[in-house]
Amino acid sequence: MQFIKYGEYSRKITLFAATFGIIGVLIAVYIVKGLNVSALQWVVAAILLYSGTSMLINEFKNKKAVQQEAA
């Protein structure tokens, strides 16, 4: 944690992220508590599908770029 000791980080950004992170969690708790379990399962499934698809697409793009550099 040397960067904290020497002040090598932005205090404004840290304060901003912490403040709005807490606010975001409180809003999310309110929204999630209002959903029924079935809807929540579909939301989680959609997020997992989106995340997995985007990671696969990025991996294929990276492999293609590496192959083009090697050629």
Asked if residue 30 and residue 42 are part of one domain, the reply reads: no
Residue 9's pLDDT band (cuts 50, 70, 90)? confident
Asked if residue 45 and residue 27 are part of one domain, the reply reads: no
- In degrees, rounded to 5, the angle at the alpha carbon of residue 15 between the alpha carbons of residues 9 and 21 is 120
- Dig out the tokens for 19 from the structure: 């403040």
Structural domain total, the chain: 2
Q: What's residue 52's pLDDT?
A: 97
pLDDT digits (tens, 9 = 90+) for 27-42: 989 888 888 889 889 9
How many angstroms separate the CA atoms of 20 and 25, rounded? 8
DSSP 9: S
Asked if residue 54 and residue 43 are part of one domain, the reply reads: yes
Q: What's residue 6's pLDDT?
A: 77
pTM: 0.55
Asked if residue 22 and residue 3 are part of one domain, the reply reads: yes
Asked if residue 46 and residue 62 are part of one domain, the reply reads: yes
